[in-house]
Structure 1
Amino acid sequence: MDIEEMLLDLKKKIESKLPNDTTISTVEFEGPQLVVYTEEPRKFADNGNIIRTLAKDLRTRIVVRPDPKVLVPPEESMDKIGNIVPEEAATSNYHFDPDVGEVIIEAEKPGLVIGKQGDTLREITKEIGWTPKVVRTPPIKSRTVKNIREFMRNNHKERKDILKSVGRQIHRETTTKDQWVRITSLGGCKEVGRSCFILSTPESRVMIDCGVNIGSDENMTPYLYVPEAYPLSQLDAVILTHAHLDHSGFIPLLYKYGYQGPVYCTLPTRDLSALLQLDYIDVAGKEGRIVPYESSQVREALKHTITLDFEEVTDIAPDIKLTFHNSGHILGSAIAHFHIGDGLHNVVFTGDYKYGSTRLFDPAVNKFPRVETVVTESTYGSSNAVQPTLKDAEKHLQQVIINTLQKDGIVLIPAFAVGRSQEVMIVLEDAIRKGLIDDVPIYLDGMIWEATAIHATYPEYLNNELRKSIFQKGQNPFLSDSFKPVDSNELRQKIIDEPHPCVILATAGMMNAGPILEYFKAFASNENNTLVFVGYQADGTLGRRIQKGWKEIPMSSSVNGGTQTINVNMNVEVVDGFSGHSDRKQLMDFVKKMKPRPERVYTEHGEEKFCIDLASSIYKKNKIETRALTNLETIRLV
């Protein structure tokens, strides 16, 4: 049966299940959804059970859209929406898309637009015909969120064609009765960086992550030229677990070399990865390195991105279903669960995860309907890689800051823009609010403020305590007056020229580039100041050299273009416990407490000895088949 016949058959099945007075115009696959067009959207809105029943019977995601001819004009629609939605929702904007019959409503309180169990949305549909979609008005203006939303709206026609093409690819007829499942490792095995895997069956090929190893010129890219991945045009989908560049950095490159399929990720991951990818090529260009792709490829990837919520089961190929679960690593980070065939096999790719509560996120999920194979990260897989508790880490950081401020010193914290910065910000805001440390300015330099604005846009991805604080108490710690964005070279220079007690959070986290270097040059010689490392420092980075105790650091001079020697007299502190990765105990507990119990576990994303150590320990403790994966090997699971 070809696609057209399949759609015709689905239309007949849907019509047979509808009430007698309800009709539909046509049906079409758009991405993983089956879209039903109707001239009577009000009848579907009146009876919310129709869609739920159809989706259950047909075992697919169904969306109802109005036929364009029944839509109320936009100006009139806005008045009607204003009469339905409570004023407290604080709607700020409307965007009408006649091609799909949708109106996007921006509001400060989306829940009030949605209503109890979607009642308000259904009321809107009944009144205007348009299908309402609700997005949060960013409480902190984010250039990234604004630009991406505008870009997606401006390219809606092309995007609709892309989604139709993807939908037909997903729902194509299977061609073989053979049954097997294989995984191929293209990067990130027995190393950290350039994470990339292929999950393949006789019908489908799916790529999981496609990262870059920023710290290595020789081993920078995944092995994309091997038969399992090439030609890229034959891939069914790319799954992105989270936004960090060692997982997302080379996804735009795929579109440069022929890939035209979808990228599946969560909504925050879409925005954060675009932010980091654009910064990556900008920095590469400024430093005279090879720029692997252009910003046009980042935009192309955005056009092909399909965002999914946690726990949402989605067809991504004829024989593969994907479900994302919270991984607790950074905003929007996900564990990817693949259900293959009709119960043939279930594979979990953890990506990076934190199996423990943090200030920002709930612990990683490790309970699934079914799981036979697990591919897990091993960043802290060494037997002695046990981190302090978060409570102890916070006390340590607070004491370091108190000691420095008592000497009228400056606390300098190199931090990754996404994840650790926001974790530290929450700790500092809480300590200042409770009077544990002095209310001094906390300067945020580099991409930190923009990444924080994206966090503020998606509070539903934060942990229960933060959500309750934001939604019920109206207290958003990211909006604290203590935080001062450094949004110009002039302000940065003023902070340097007029030193005063403060905390400076600046990128980059390993001190290999970015504004952190300007502050370091200015403040390193003063013994009253303190440099605090809250994240991992890789070998070969400036951060690792300082950590090892180097007291004289050669650096390029901004004055004459030569080299200057920086004398490190400032205190250097390492505060462990803020990592977004699971430590050794958490890695072991994640597997031990997993339900159901997996049949085999493969380790990756760690130094070679750590991956081997973790695999060996999991086997000894749990008697589960284990192995440390090697790049360029293919393993048959079924």
Structure 2
Amino acid sequence: MELKERLYSVFEILPHDRVKKIEYEGPFLCIYTDDISLLTGESGLIPKVAKALKKKVIIRPTPEIRLEKEKAKEMIKKIIPENAKVDINEVYFDERKGEVHIYANEPALIKGRGDSTIWELINAIKWRVVIHRKPAIDSSIIKTVDLLDRNNEEIRNELLNLVGMRINREKIKDVEMIRITPLGAANEVGRSAFLVSTDEGDILLDAGLKPGSRSMRDEFPMLQLIDDIDRIECVILTHAHFDHCAALPYLFKYGYRGPVYMTEPTKYLMALIISDYLNIRQKSGLTLPYSFSDLTTLLAHTITLEYGEVADIAPDTKLTLYNAGHILGSAVVHLHFGEGYFNLVYTGDFKFDIRERNRLLDPAFYSFKRNDIIVMEGTYGGNEDIMPSRTEAINSLIEMIKGTLEKNGKVLMPMLAVGRAQEILLILYDAFENGQLPRIPVFVEGMIHETSAIHTKFVESLSNEVRRKLQEGNPFTSRYFELIKDTSVREEILEAGPCIIIATSGMLTGGPVMEYFRLLAEDERNSIIFTSYQAQGTLGRRVKDGEKEVLVPTEKGEVPVKVNMRVYSAEGFSGHSDRNQLIEYIRRLPNRPRNIFLVHGEPSKLSALQQAIRNELHIPTYIPDIGETIRLR
């Protein structure tokens, strides 16, 4: 049944005189009403409408019933518990949508009372109420993104309407053919981008850059293989790591104006990662591949989805995002084509450790109703890629640090700002609290403060253990950790006694860690500890592989540096699944996939994983090349 026909069912369920306007809002349908029982949900009719339409339905109040804003603020102050800590001056009214946005330190005290507080509030002010958690750490990127959203309201409203119309256009024909073309991350790690094509249009999965590349040709995915940018229905971003998101503004530079779907945490993290990339290039005097304005345009075209929320993204395609367990907001993509015709799962980067839960996040979702094809990462698919247990990994890391401190040295930890940084900070916090490490200074520099702030804004996305810790007190702002904002203090840090320095970037490709490495590397008392994957071609990979003299970029050009410091690789902290976890993920899928495509890995590791899946699970497994178009159905 087509949507036009299904719309008639709205009036069969809802009182005709209460529906004042119906409009598209991206993949969702908005119904404007003057009936408060529809707005609060007390009527019980909206779930029936959503089921009939097979769409998420948003109910908005008509302007004439809404309480005047100043009076609404008074009611908000009166109804919301004081210990929810709402600053009334931060309350924001979106008049076009009829929404009031309330920012609370303790949103559970508003939401966690069986919705009775929200119902009472809606009945009193007659606005749609949206509750946000305030970050426990002040964040400039959160403020910037929120401000841009408000300033771009007109652009966003126009986009959402156009997207809704495009999604709900008449189909050319039923789905007959589905193809996939890797534009990057095939037989390599970096520049993830996969073009999925149907008769209706194209869908781009991720658009990242390759760390450590020497040329733009090697750094960017092969976007030139996209025949017609206007055929792209949408872009779907799995998570906010550089190698998955940093090419997105480039698409907007060259005319793409469609939606980009992602989770809400990913939106903030993506803005931070890309703006940091541009800042580093600008300070280094390098040409910018796109501008800050292109990033702003990208942000204006994002549409965020919750985990498990089904959204139409094309006339023949539905999208659902599920937790990937990799970093905050990371998602496994499930695409449903036609009416049960075909289902594609793209894992992006994911972590599937069901025996020892990641300290930060829950393991990746795997209970799909259907999964005909799996496009899966194989970063750690090699025969030797078996990670130690969490306990072993933590104990090993602590011994590495203690060994350096005993020699009166300094520990340098190049760090991925998103995910790994927060996990390592939690481990160090526990080690100091439990007496496993002496309470030495820990200096933190780079984006880590901002990414930690974003983690505290989305506490509900974190594991139960971390949520409990944050309720007891914020480990990320502990007295053990000193945030470095002024680069002039680096000299004092280097002249002081034993300490731990945590700085971005994690692969020694730029950022403040470069200066620390240059000045610490020649002293054999010091050590460098890598806690994440080091991509081929990066300085981090060369140091990890044992090179004793390397060229380090500075503002005055590259300088040779002798590497006398001890080099450690702390295994077990990766946000990627190891070989056993990759195979276990496939084994636990409720439905056996027809085929598996392995991507995002070095050739030898993908080949080893391919053989293991074929031998152990007897599933046809293929390793595609960049630019190779494969018919999936």
Q: Which range, TM-score by smaller chain? A: over 0.9
Once the two structures are TM-superposed, the CA of residue 555 in structure 1 deviates from its matched residue by: 4.2
Per-residue CA distance 1:139-184 (angstroms, 9 max, x = gap): 0011111110111012212211111111111111112145222212
Distance 2:174 2:38 in 1: 42
Share of identical aligned residues, percent? Answer: 40
Give the secondary-structure state (helix, strand or coil) at the position aligned to 2:19: coil
1:172 — aligned with what? 169
1:15 — aligned with what? 11
Distance 2:433 2:480 in 1: 10
Matching residue within 262, 267, 270 for 2:267: 270
Matching residue within 215, 222, 232 for 1:235: 232
**Taking structure 1 as reference, are residues 537 and 343 closer, same or farther at Cα in structure 2, changes over 3 Å only?**
same
Give the secondary-structure state (helix, strand or coil) at the position aligned to 2:48: helix
**Taking structure 1 as reference, are residues 220 and 564 closer, same or farther at Cα in structure 2, changes over 3 Å only?**
closer
2:42 — aligned with what? 47
Give the secondary-structure state (helix, strand or coil) at the position aligned to 2:532: coil
**Pairwise mapping of residues 418-567 of structure 1 onto structure 2 (< 5 A)?**
418-470=418-470, 473-496=471-494, 498-555=495-552, 561=556, 565-567=560-562
* C-alpha contact (below 8 Å) 2:6/2:52 kept by paired residues: no
Once the two structures are TM-superposed, the CA of residue 623 in structure 1 deviates from its matched residue by: 1.2
Distance 1:31 1:147 in 2: 23
Distance 2:41 2:285 in 1: 60
2:566 — aligned with what? 571
Give the secondary-structure state (helix, strand or coil) at the position aligned to 1:354: coil
Once the two structures are TM-superposed, the CA of residue 371 in structure 1 deviates from its matched residue by: 0.9
Give the secondary-structure state (helix, strand or coil) at the position aligned to 1:338: strand
**What TM-score does the superposition give when structure 1 sets the normalisation length?**
0.94
**Taking structure 1 as reference, are residues 501 and 374 closer, same or farther at Cα in structure 2, changes over 3 Å only?**
same
1:597 is aligned to 2:592 = yes
Distance 1:102 1:324 in 2: 25
Once the two structures are TM-superposed, the CA of residue 343 in structure 1 deviates from its matched residue by: 0.3
* C-alpha contact (below 8 Å) 1:182/1:637 kept by paired residues: yes
1:580 is aligned to 2:575 = yes
CA RMSD of aligned residues (A): 2.0
1:108 — aligned with what? 105
Matching residue within 240, 257, 277 for 2:254: 257
* C-alpha contact (below 8 Å) 1:183/1:637 kept by paired residues: yes
Moved more, 29-38 or 572-581: 572-581
1:132 — aligned with what? 129
Query: Amino acid of the residue matched to residue 529 of structure 1?
Result: N
Once the two structures are TM-superposed, the CA of residue 51 in structure 1 deviates from its matched residue by: 1.1
* C-alpha contact (below 8 Å) 2:522/2:562 kept by paired residues: yes
**Taking structure 1 as reference, are residues 186 and 523 closer, same or farther at Cα in structure 2, changes over 3 Å only?**
closer
Moved more, 451-460 or 107-116: 107-116
Once the two structures are TM-superposed, the CA of residue 453 in structure 1 deviates from its matched residue by: 1.4
* C-alpha contact (below 8 Å) 2:385/2:578 kept by paired residues: yes
**Pairwise mapping of residues 305-320 of structure 1 onto structure 2 (< 5 A)?**
305-320=302-317
Distance 2:430 2:152 in 1: 42
1:375 — aligned with what? 375
1:246 — aligned with what? 243
Query: Amino acid of the residue matched to residue 510 of structure 2?
Result: A
Distance 1:549 1:178 in 2: 52
Per-residue CA distance 1:123-142 (angstroms, 9 max, x = gap): 21111111111111110011
What residue ranges of structure 2 are gaps of 5+ in the alignment?
A: none
**Pairwise mapping of residues 279-358 of structure 1 onto structure 2 (< 5 A)?**
279-356=276-353, 357-358=357-358
Once the two structures are TM-superposed, the CA of residue 24 in structure 1 deviates from its matched residue by: 1.5
Give the secondary-structure state (helix, strand or coil) at the position aligned to 1:91: coil
Distance 1:133 1:431 in 2: 39
Query: Amino acid of the residue matched to residue 197 of structure 2?
Result: S
**What TM-score does the superposition give when structure 2 sets the normalisation length?**
0.95
Distance 1:568 1:175 in 2: 61
Distance 1:477 1:30 in 2: 39
Give the secondary-structure state (helix, strand or coil) at the position aligned to 1:386: coil
**Taking structure 1 as reference, are residues 166 and 620 closer, same or farther at Cα in structure 2, changes over 3 Å only?**
same
* C-alpha contact (below 8 Å) 1:2/1:172 kept by paired residues: no
Distance 1:119 1:598 in 2: 44
* C-alpha contact (below 8 Å) 1:42/1:127 kept by paired residues: no
**Taking structure 1 as reference, are residues 556 and 87 closer, same or farther at Cα in structure 2, changes over 3 Å only?**
closer
* C-alpha contact (below 8 Å) 1:370/1:596 kept by paired residues: yes
**Taking structure 1 as reference, are residues 29 and 521 closer, same or farther at Cα in structure 2, changes over 3 Å only?**
same
Distance 1:510 1:17 in 2: 57
Distance 1:556 1:632 in 2: 32
1:29 — aligned with what? 24
**Taking structure 1 as reference, are residues 270 and 336 closer, same or farther at Cα in structure 2, changes over 3 Å only?**
same
**Taking structure 1 as reference, are residues 551 and 13 closer, same or farther at Cα in structure 2, changes over 3 Å only?**
closer
Distance 1:222 1:517 in 2: 26
What residue ranges of structure 1 are gaps of 5+ in the alignment?
A: none
Equivalences, count = 626
Once the two structures are TM-superposed, the CA of residue 186 in structure 1 deviates from its matched residue by: 1.4
Distance 2:139 2:228 in 1: 37
Distance 2:543 2:295 in 1: 35
Distance 1:52 1:375 in 2: 33
Moved more, 333-342 or 178-187: 178-187
**Taking structure 1 as reference, are residues 416 and 34 closer, same or farther at Cα in structure 2, changes over 3 Å only?**
same
**Taking structure 1 as reference, are residues 477 and 387 closer, same or farther at Cα in structure 2, changes over 3 Å only?**
same
Per-residue CA distance 1:421-455 (angstroms, 9 max, x = gap): 11211111111111211122211111111111111
**Taking structure 1 as reference, are residues 48 and 289 closer, same or farther at Cα in structure 2, changes over 3 Å only?**
farther
Once the two structures are TM-superposed, the CA of residue 389 in structure 1 deviates from its matched residue by: 1.8
Once the two structures are TM-superposed, the CA of residue 28 in structure 1 deviates from its matched residue by: 0.3
